[in-house]
Amino acid sequence: MSRSLQNFLEEHEKDLIRVRKPVDLENVGALVAQANDTIVFDNIKGYPGYRLVDLLFVNRKAQARVLRCQPGDVVKRLVEVIEAGPRPLKEVNNAPCQEKTFTGAEIDLRRLPVVTHTDRDPYPYTTSFVAHKDLETGAFNQMYSRCGVLGPREMVVSYVTPPANEMLAKYRAAGQKMPQAIAIGAHPAWELAACYSHLHDRWWEAELYEAITGEPGEITRCKTVDLPVPADSSIVIEGLVDPKRMAQDGPSPGPTMLFCPGAQQMPVFEVTAITMRKDPVYRNHQMTPFTDHQEMPRLFHEAIIHERLRAMRVNVRDVHFPQGGGALAVIVQVDPTLDGQVKDALLAVLGSPWMNVKMAIAVDPDIDIYDYRDVQYALATRVDPARDLIIIPDARGIAFDPTARPILGAFPNTHETRFPAVVGKWGIDATKPVPYRQEERRNYERAWPLNWGKVRLADYLD
């Protein structure tokens, strides 16, 4: 099993899109957005010695490479990861991520190939996961945060998750700066583990690494702050977040691909060290249009929804947050056996722990949830809007959704952060009548060509 991003890319060389021609850094995002699989840039102008990779989780095929399974088994494999649970991490010294160390005047963030994602972004932004430690409990936490480069030794950090904000509040109350480390270019299993956002009060997300890869995860301590990071990381940016120093963050797009909630004031990150491998691969997460930004953070959501429905005795086949849903929509593929079962399933999905679930669509097993034509077909031919829609007013909304209404007065800065907010949610039952309603069900049977599924076009091509 590969232990680094470098090994992972070598192992899957035949599946990658390789760009060997010189590329201007400002063109990376537009080129990534045209790719349909993992893409590697071998030659970034002005940044010798760096390769850049993106789209490690852009579709089921890419996700399956990380999870070591078939594309159709991704959600099932994620369920297995959750069931296996956390495993201890092994701490090592002389880690590859510390083959080079830069401190003091040697630190210069501008030497890293940090991408500016849109023409409205005020700075280049790193988009890899960051690590923190709770001031009171000593527990570690990871989150994905965009970090804008303010200068050679300073960044602005976007705090978007409740655990990270709660930790930051403790340091602010204590009058202390908060240690932080940004891990860039680690094995994608570390990235996937960092996406786990369900309850895990007694363990660290990174401890899922072994359940994903089958091998113990190796971490190392940072040079200037007391935080662990993946030993195989390509680049680690260490430092302290000053809860009292603020700078403008944004406008920069969220997973909805919109500049919402716009510019905000966020804490300043003072960099104390940059460490890296001798062969660094810079990991970019291009924010728009349809990239890892929509797919990757919701992978564990799919698995947890799958198991929640299975616990309700719903025959669930697959769950998918489509890229075009901007993290707000989810499709569940179910095989209902009783009236009312689908409505219960939709209510469970809309009431899931994540505020971003605004629209849930239920379809039958004969609908390909990865084909927009098929989903549109189900919506057009199997939905009576007067009967098959569930509308829930004033449910929890997410700041990235421009239709959500901020609850002004809830917090002092709600007008800026758009949190908390409320929004309507809707569920759509796009399934056929249940099997024992044969007379009705007959009208919904699809027509297929003679010998459909028995012959393959590829067998007739040269």
Q: How far apart are CA 93 and CA 74, in angstroms?
A: 34
Neighbours of 240 (CB within 10 A): 18
Report the pLDDT averaged over residues 379-383.
98
Report the pLDDT averaged over residues 280-287.
96
Chain centroid to CA 297: 2
Report the pLDDT averaged over residues 141-167.
92
The pLDDT of residue 112: 98
Q: How confident is the model at residue 355 (pLDDT cuts 50, 70, 90)?
A: confident
The pLDDT of residue 294: 87
The pLDDT of residue 168: 94
The pLDDT of residue 199: 80
Q: Which helix (H) or strand (E) holds 249?
A: strand 235-249
Say which residue the tokens 């003072």 belong to.
270
In this predicted structure, the answer to whether residue 198 has a pLDDT above a threshold of 90 is: no
Helix, strand, coil in percent for the chain, rounding step 5: 30, 25, 45
Report the pLDDT averaged over residues 1-26.
92
Structure tokens at 168: 């930051």
Looking at every residue in the chain, the average pLDDT score rounds to: 95
Amino acid identity at 93: N
Report the pLDDT averaged over residues 396-407.
93
Architecture category of domain 312-443 in CATH: 3-Layer(aba) Sandwich (3.40)
Contacts of 80 (CB under 8 A, 6+ apart): 211
Q: What CATH number does domain 5-294 carry, 3.90.420.10, 3.60.15.10, 3.40.50.720, 2.30.110.10? A: 2.30.110.10
Structure tokens at 177: 């700066």
Structure tokens at 378: 């189900």
Give the rounded percent of residues in the chain with a pLDDT score beyond 90: 90
Q: Using CB atoms within 10 Å of the CB of residue 251, give its burial: 0 to 12 exposed, 13 to 18 middle, 19+ buried.
A: middle
Contact assessment for residue 181 and residue 236, using Cβ atoms and an 8 Å cutoff? yes
Contact assessment for residue 11 and residue 33, using Cβ atoms and an 8 Å cutoff? no
pLDDT in tens, 36-64: 999 999 999 999 999 999 999 999 999 99
Contact assessment for residue 269 and residue 147, using Cβ atoms and an 8 Å cutoff? yes
Chain centroid to CA 121: 20
Contacts of 172 (CB under 8 A, 6+ apart): 243, 244
Pairing of strands 125-126, 147-151: antiparallel
What's the start-to-end Cα distance of the chain, in Å? 36
Stated length of the chain: 462
The pLDDT of residue 35: 96
Give the rounded percent of residues in the chain with a pLDDT score beyond 70: 100
All structural domains of the chain with their residue ranges: 5-294, 312-443
The lowest-confidence range among 154-163, 286-295, 410-419 is 410-419
Report the pLDDT averaged over residues 102-122.
97
In b/e form, how buried is each residue of 302-335, taking b as 16+ CB within 10 angstroms? bbbbbbbbeeeebebbbbbbbbebbbbbbbbbbe
Residue 352: φ, ψ to 5°: -65, 170
Contact assessment for residue 324 and residue 343, using Cβ atoms and an 8 Å cutoff? no
Report the pLDDT averaged over residues 344-353.
95
The pLDDT of residue 417: 86
The pLDDT of residue 1: 40
DSSP 8-class letter at 27:
G
